[in-house]
Structure 1
């Protein structure tokens, strides 16, 4: 019941005004479970001030029953060997145990602020501190790649030479400028190229973590298909991934008759190829609805990569001008994704729930067509917020936009 209450609170805080049927069903379902649990307990009355005490007691019983501490201790050995001890069950059982345990920890964090600092609150705080330190220590250099290790036989994946070679290839080298001293690297691992891109362009940490795993596995898979299980990404595998991922960008440049980010493919270094592939995936991973706009994504990638080039040439890390916010922080989501999403949403709203005449409707294809012409460079970089393509439509007035009518 306590977990359901916390999930209900999180869902409400994330999207309090949502009228989507899925979100509403989720919230109603949680409320129903909570009411059912309350009805079984003292006629529906529970002193919520004791929530943290109840949770602490349950947490202790759960960790003892499922031997969570022993699982954490054995984790490094399993990761290296790829095998599990029968004493702890199979991979799926361990995964479910640890997933439940992490959920309990998250709820404890949320409730600890209201706990008695001299009673259970103190014990709770000490346990959370211990969990944080232990989790970081045991995860080691693979903290950022731990998602790779979740499926059966997951712990063997981290031991594959292709995966280790891919992880090693992305580590920070002396060719890159030093990261700011105040930039925090998650877990106990070496800095890598994704940290540089996160620091400069303000990509969200979840996106960075997801794409780090995605890119590592992509290169590892390409390496494995070559039948060369070496701890270094082969040049052939690297070129295969690079050309496949950036194929649409290369085609976009050819169509517009502009130069790509590189003058000669043969002259591109390994680090350069790796960071460009990572950069493209990070942009696509946080593109929201405009991930369906390949030409728009190419336009953004083209300009942001040039910003990165200038930074690397100067040997200095600083916030990218295109992603700077008013508070002087950096956020790709706020400065790049949001303006485009709002423009798409406003134009789609004029479709009258698809009842408007076909000639008056605007969709993804219409918007993306703008970026299939040299006229898109009039948008400039950083993007001009008052550009025609980003203006929200006004009722009853039409204007031409690169061969496509846009309601302005």
Structure 2
């Protein structure tokens, strides 16, 4: 108790002053009889003195910042009736950990929670008595031994898995309490016992659908032949090198290393994924293999299913579906796929490792899942690391590519979190959508960064934290100069498109519709104002020559469209690749050329010209016929004729747009920019005819 007072006096004095009602403390209302305390009491424990009646569950009062102490308080509630003194020691350990995690009680609700727990400890210190020994150290040691023998050794086959999981969790908490109460005494006997408890505890971990690691009676779902075959296929880990364990910061005396049961456990140790993610994706992969295999072998007799094995076509089919986007991304960037199978591979172990790796990346990606090509970039490099490991059989062990101070979230911290921070900073820049879209990037803008090979050069692998991609958008230029000592690092801007809100988009987005309306209106006005005024007047030479002026109007509309392309993309101009800049400039120049050529050639066909038309006619020369204008119109309409043909033969157009050939891309460069998505998205020919 003296040690308790010495360690927690500062918090105790502040808590006592709050509970006793100081000048600024709220006045406590008289008790209104027996009441039940719910979770709402979390923010109302400042006035609790331990005298109120009613059941109080400490684990429901814990603030979110002190979540790690919840299992300790739950264990105290479980063993309260069996040994109140040990329950008091558990609460004492929880209080000490809470004070270590937040010594200044700065978190929300932390001071109120400490106040309540302190009053509870003072009350239990007086009311509880030791039952098994004369000191607290011996009390917790004997009770730990008694609890493990009673609940973990006796009746192991009769209890349910979820009940055994709860007992093992309490045993782990009791061992932590034992180490806290006896910090200076060697406990080699209990350390060895706790080592066995921790290994058995993994056999009773929580699961979603498949109880893969549960001891005891086999569950019916695990008797399905396809499930058994998929589990057996994943547990073939022979001939794989072993990752060297991290002993620099790991706990001493608990276990020598995690147990590797299958391929995903091996990937967990190799690339530093989180254990919960590994268990989820393990079930995911097993169910995928079982479902695909069950559909492929639906007519197999029951006797043959008992010795069932996953077919090779099942794994190949799953490979195609999982890596469809990755293979397409590699072809788009003209990269060689890093999914390589060693020549001496006699089983489908490498394929399952690649599938498991991609699923683990996806499972831990969080919001980065909305950037599929970013996941392709990550997988591309990690697949190369995986191939280097499984193809090098010279050494039996290797150093994992990802390792972070003994933690099991190295991949999350080193790969996902930096990208997530970029997403978070850009969302902060948007100020909940009130800022102009040109000043911040959303998921699509960040994802388009990985549509170009320049990401390999600028970002690298392992990803360079000094890259422009990770530049903080909230920093000013002076902050960057002060902290980075260089002005070469600037925030990446939008890649292909910057939204500019203007009514001019009504013409830019629907230019063909507006062009049809304007040109049709012009032709109808010319025909209506002809001498006859009938529709057949279009066949008269003079009227037809006047109708042909719609191409001059079309050239002007094309010039307006090219101008709007430059104006409305001006904010994204510096982020465009050189080929796109050249395309916009050339379109503008060509539009100006046709805007000059068509009026000049048309003026040469007019009989008895006057004024400016006479000047152009003399400049043209002796071409006093309409042939040169007709030739210019035919040349001007040639791209539109090809476009109309491709519009009719949609399969050909779809195949050309989806092609990654450099020659095809060069030929289509004038009509559309090079984009990874939305290529060849057209309705079929029958729908168009309808």
Structure-2-length-normalised TM-score: 0.44
Root-mean-square deviation (Å): 4.9
> How much does 1:367 deviate?
1.2
> How much does 1:330 deviate?
10
Match 2:364 to one of 286, 299, 304: 286
* Contact residue 211 and residue 219 of structure 2 kept, 8 A: no
**Residue 368 of structure 1 pairs with residue 473 of structure 2:** no
* Contact residue 148 and residue 154 of structure 1 kept, 8 A: no
**Residue 351 of structure 1 pairs with residue 430 of structure 2:** yes
> How much does 1:9 deviate?
7.0
Residue of structure 2 equivalent to 1:130: 193
Higher relative contact order (CA closer than 8 Å, sequence separation 6+) = 1
Residue of structure 1 equivalent to 2:293: 223
* Contact residue 281 and residue 363 of structure 2 kept, 8 A: yes
Q: Matches of 1:326 and 1:313 in 2, distance apart? A: 27
**Residue 234 of structure 1 pairs with residue 311 of structure 2:** yes
**Residue 163 of structure 1 pairs with residue 243 of structure 2:** no
Residue of structure 1 equivalent to 2:272: 202
* Contact residue 226 and residue 309 of structure 2 kept, 8 A: yes
* Contact residue 426 and residue 441 of structure 2 kept, 8 A: yes
Q: Deviations over 1:46-82 (max 9, x none)?
A: 99xx8877877876887788x543343x1xxxxxxxx
Match 2:327 to one of 250, 255, 259: 250
Q: Matches of 2:96 and 2:292 in 1, distance apart? A: 43
Residues 169 and 24 of structure 1, relative CA distance in 2, 3 Å threshold? farther
Match 1:301 to one of 349, 363, 379: 379
* Contact residue 223 and residue 233 of structure 1 kept, 8 A: yes
Q: Matches of 2:415 and 2:123 in 1, distance apart? A: 50
**Residue 332 of structure 1 pairs with residue 406 of structure 2:** no
Q: Matches of 2:238 and 2:149 in 1, distance apart? A: 46
**Residue 381 of structure 1 pairs with residue 461 of structure 2:** yes
Q: Which runs of 5+ in 2 are unaligned?
A: 1-57, 59-68, 74-90, 247-255, 299-304, 478-489, 499-571, 576-690
> How much does 1:42 deviate?
7.1
Who wins on radius of gyration, i.e. which is larger? 2
Q: Matches of 2:202 and 2:190 in 1, distance apart? A: 18
Q: Matches of 2:287 and 2:103 in 1, distance apart? A: 37
Q: Mapping of 1:3-402 within 5 angstroms?
A: 3-4=72-73, 5=91, 34=117, 37=120, 41=124, 67-72=151-156, 74=157, 88=159, 91=160, 94-95=161-162, 97-116=163-182, 126=189, 129-130=192-193, 132-133=195-196, 136=199, 147-148=211-212, 155-176=219-240, 178-180=241-243, 182=245, 186-187=258-259, 192-225=262-295, 226-227=297-298, 228=305, 230-262=307-339, 270-315=348-393, 316=395, 318-319=398-399, 323=402, 331-378=410-457, 379-393=459-473, 394-395=475-476, 400-402=493-495
* Contact residue 468 and residue 491 of structure 2 kept, 8 A: no
Residues 217 and 64 of structure 1, relative CA distance in 2, 3 Å threshold? same
> How much does 1:305 deviate?
0.4
> How much does 1:399 deviate?
5.4
Q: Deviations over 1:188-208 (max 9, x none)?
A: x65x43344334333344443
Q: Matches of 1:172 and 1:279 in 2, distance apart? A: 16
> Greater share of helix residues, 1 or 2?
1
Structure-1-length-normalised TM-score: 0.69
- How many residues align structurally? 372
Residues 17 and 35 of structure 1, relative CA distance in 2, 3 Å threshold? closer
Residues 286 and 244 of structure 1, relative CA distance in 2, 3 Å threshold? same
* Contact residue 330 and residue 337 of structure 2 kept, 8 A: yes
> How much does 1:280 deviate?
0.7
> How much does 1:135 deviate?
6.1
Q: Which runs of 5+ in 1 are unaligned?
A: 75-84
